[in-house]
Amino acid sequence: MTDATVAGGDKIRCDACPVMCYIKPGAAGACDRYANHNGELVRVDPHIVLEQTVSHGGRLVPFQAGGGDWDGKIVREPNVFVTAIGAGTTYPDYKPAPFIVSSEVDGVDMVTVVTEGIFSYCGVKVKIDTDRYLGPETATVRAEGEAIGHVTTSEYGSQMLSLGGVHHLTGGSKKEGRVTCDALMDLSNCKPVELTIDGGATVVVQAGYPPIVNGVAEERMRVGCGSATIGMFAKQWHGKVDEVVVVDDHITGVLSEHQAGKLLDIPDTGIKMKGRRSTPGRYFQVADPGTGWGGTNISDPLSVLGPFNPKEARPGLTMLMVSTTGEHAAYYELDEALRPIEKQMPPDLRFSVERIQENCEPALCTVLFMGGAGGSLRAGVTDNPVRLTRSVKDALTRVTSGGAPVYVWPGGGITFMVDVMQMPAGAFGYVPTPALVAPIEFTLRLSDYAALGGHMDHVRPLASLRDNTETRPMPYIPGRRA
Amino acid sequence: MKRFPQIALLPDGKRLHLQDGPIDLVIEAKGGESDVGAAYEAAARRFTGLLDELCEELVELRRAADPIRCPLKGVVARRMHAAVAPFAVDHFITPMAAVAGSVAEEILGSMLRAARLDRAYVNNGGDIALHLTGGEQFTVGLMDRPDHHGVMQTISIEADDPARGIATSGRHGRSFSLGIADAVTVLAKTASQADAAATIIANAVDLPGHPAIVRCPANELQPDSDLGARLVTRDVGAIRESEIDDALQAGVGRAQQLLAAGLIEGAALRLLGETAVVGATGIKTGVLPAFRGSTIERIAHV
């Protein structure tokens, strides 16, 4: 029933209530409920009202106007799983964990102990799919100029960073701790973070997105370097073409000289590469880095070749040039003067180029959160913390983080890793210690819970959480439950 | 046709939710069952039409307050004026700076006239009017920044403390701030006083002319803002630790003046991870339990 009158400019005057706000395009009125959308008054959230809490603009707590049932709860049926996100915690944890919920799963009375752990020793491991040079191993990684971690090993076409940990969170200056905590939380909540590496690159990392290295977004993760690509595809080229050059910023591969070519008795072609020869058929620095062929700065692949040696080369010799990702490719035949002339590529060579492309996966950043459930957190679950550890090791207790599966590292304690992309949005918080707050759930049989000294008097039936303001919506991910 | 506000119990069946236009109240009363019922009914009755009452004088309420003369008629409007008047000599301030606290106070007053309650609060978007008797107490979680989930500290108010009002102001809120504080939480004898004082102290946490602070005329964002073309803070870029301290100290100085003048009972000022506390009893500093998400809402009403 609400109408609006168009006032000066594109402002509109809302008459939803007697405040009669003038609202600019793209802005909301004083209530945050009505907004100006291209000159039209729209209700921003028809059934969700805003309850602001401790400070202005605080948490949004959705509920239905009539006091009816919630939609989009953590708790859902069937086979409900309660996550720890938003559960709060009771550190120091001599007190029982905030929610100890019992539910029936497959006819077994299960208990999920839901808590949020404060992880002051935690960190993240970042895997960046790129062949671009990010910086030397052990170099310091910085956010906002503060040291928050280091470059660790480079493995299989990806560069690993190790960030956070106790030394940066609490061992350095106050600012270092705060910046580290912010960076870890943003990375864990799948937000972009700009990192600079001493003696290396600036890279924007966001879980689930390609890395942006020195302002350039990486697109594909190469199947291997140029040399590796020769090795992988040599057999497929054998007999179809005389020479193949895989152009790559790191290591450019040449089929006839490469070990893989030798094993197939591919004869010499008289090709002459520019750049620095590493081992036979493998060349460094054929060009400068860039955004052209194979991560180099070239647009004409012939510019990495010198003249063919007339002792071995012959007119009519065929050659495929392709970049490591298969994004660029060209086919040549030598003319009478032994000059490569571009020709239409035969279909079977076209197919091999597509095969290279197919094997290059999209380059991504991935973030694993790594934390340890310390003794005090475990005490929130049971009065004999070590029994919980043993129970996890014996696989009687299943550990999850925000409902996502974790890998529990063997050895002492409960040190776990979780892929942050599998966790619901906004799963991580922090305390000014500084430390991260992450959800952790322990699921086990009610009888096992009693046996390990669980806080039986605090077990609540799942139904008691329903219609409760303590629940909040999270995306439901099928197939993931206790 | 008379408009009716939204009146409903929250799903927990205990708290009352009242909403009309931009006013959003969450109310809880503790006492005998019939007293709580009577208090909620009184709150709903008083709330009905309250927004219209305020809007009748909205033009005047959006003008700079006169330090002495009050041209306003409505009881809530006059309370708003009274709360900001002590600041009107030295600062530009309109009665709107105390609207949230004044409404909360009015509704709490109507409840207490109708029933005997052990404890009650009216939370108007973070500006809270309190009633405490006997051994009752009220615990409030202070959030670091509304866009992060983290309660940095808790404040406990006991029945024999003088504070009955709590308010928070800062640049992340729904209303604009002239300063750069992330949050300034004030305890005062009444919610309307706390509301006005929080605005003044949050405005004082500032680094005037600093290039990393992005400001914009308020009326470019909200055409009918009571702040007119005054520059309000939109963003705070990189500033040095020493500058954070400078800005906080400016706010602390203002808060100490207000404390000495008896206008506030205490304040907690927060800027970029640093906290300063002035005078307040019951503000616990140091490492605290982690409360996040919806839990904040819960502990705010302990």
Closest residue by Cα to residue A18 from B119, B230, B42, B54: B54
Burial A20-32 (b: 16+ CB within 10 A, else e): bbbbbeebbbbbb
A86 → closest Cβ in B6, B143, B295 = B295
CATH of the domain at B288: 3.10.520.10
The answer to whether residue B192 is domain-embedded is yes
Residue A437 contacts B, CB cutoff 8 Å: yes
Average pLDDT over residues A219-233: 82
Read off the pLDDT band of A379 (50, 70, 90). low
CA dist., res. B56 & res. B54, Å (int): 5
- A251 pLDDT higher than 60: yes
Q: Please list the residues that pair with A42 across neighbouring strands.
A: A35
Q: Using an 8 Å CB-CB cutoff, list chain A residues near B140.
A: 54
For chain B, the domain total comes to 1
Which of A169-183, A233-247, B121-135 is predicted most confidently?
A: A233-247
Find all residues with CB under 8 Å of A65, minimum gap 6, and list them: A47, A49, B6, B8
How many CB contacts within 8 angstroms connect chain A with chain B?
Answer: 192
Q: Any bridge partners for residue B23, and if so which?
A: B20
Stronger pLDDT, A18 or B191, i.e. the higher one:
B191
Q: Do B11 and A468 touch (CB under 8 A)?
A: yes
* Closest residue to B150, CB basis, from A87, A431, A472: A431
| Residue A315: band (very low, low, confident or very high) from pLDDT cuts 50, 70, 90 | very high
**Secondary-structure breakdown of chain A: helix, strand, coil percentages, each rounded to the nearest 5:** 20, 35, 50
Rounded Cα–Cα distance for residues A32 and B22 (Å): 7
Tell me: pLDDT of A155 over 80.
no
Whether B171 contacts B131, CB under 8 Å: no
Sign for the pseudo-dihedral over CA of A342, A347, A351, A354: positive
Band of pLDDT at residue A52, cut at 50, 70 and 90:
very low
* 3-state SS assignment for residue A156: coil
Q: Please write the tens of the pLDDT for every residue from A53-112.
A: 222 232 222 222 223 333 333 332 222 333 344 433 333 223 333 334 443 444 444 444
Domain that holds residue B85: 6-299
Q: Is residue B1 part of a domain?
A: no
pLDDT of residue B36: 94
Greatest pairwise CA separation for chain B in angstroms: 58
Q: Mutation test of the interface with chain A: which of B148, B151, B195, B294, choosing the one with the most A Cβ atoms within 10 A?
A: B294
Partners of A57 on chain B (C-beta within 8 Å) are 146-147, 172-174
Residue B156 lies in a domain: yes
Average pLDDT on A370-384 reads 67
pLDDT for residue A112: 46
The stretch A185-200 carries a mean pLDDT of 93
Residues 6+ apart with CB under 8 A from A171: none
**pLDDT for A415-426, tens place per residue?**
889 999 887 777
Q: Which one is predicted more confidently, A51 or B251?
A: B251
Listed in order, strand segments (DSSP E) in B31-150 are 119-124, 127-132, 137-143
Residue A366: HSE in the Cβ half-sphere, 13 Å Cα cutoff = 12
Q: Which two tokens stand for residue B175?
A: 């209303």
Q: What is the DSSP letter of B295?
A: H
- How does pLDDT run across B151-183, given as a tens digit for each residue? 455 667 888 888 899 888 888 766 788 998 888
- Block means of pLDDT (10 residues each) for chain B, length 302 residues? 71 81 88 93 93 92 92 95 93 93 96 94 87 84 52 70 87 80 88 95 93 88 84 87 92 92 88 79 40 29 26
Asked whether the beta carbons of A455 and A383 are under 8 A apart, the reply is yes
On the question of pLDDT at A175 being above 80, the answer is: yes
Q: How far apart are CA B285 and CA B267, in angstroms?
A: 13
Higher pLDDT, A191 or A360: A191
Number of H helices and E strands in chain B, helices first, is 9, 14
Is residue A289 pLDDT above 90, yes or no? Answer: no
Share above pLDDT 90 across residues of chain A, in percent, rounded to a whole number: 31
Question: What count of residues does chain B have?
Answer: 302
> How confident is the model over A413-463, as pLDDT tens digits?
778 899 998 877 777 776 666 777 777 777 666 666 667 666 666 666 555
Q: Is the pTM of this model over 0.80?
A: no
Start-to-end CA span in chain B (Å) = 39
Task: Indicate the average pLDDT of chain A.
Answer: 74
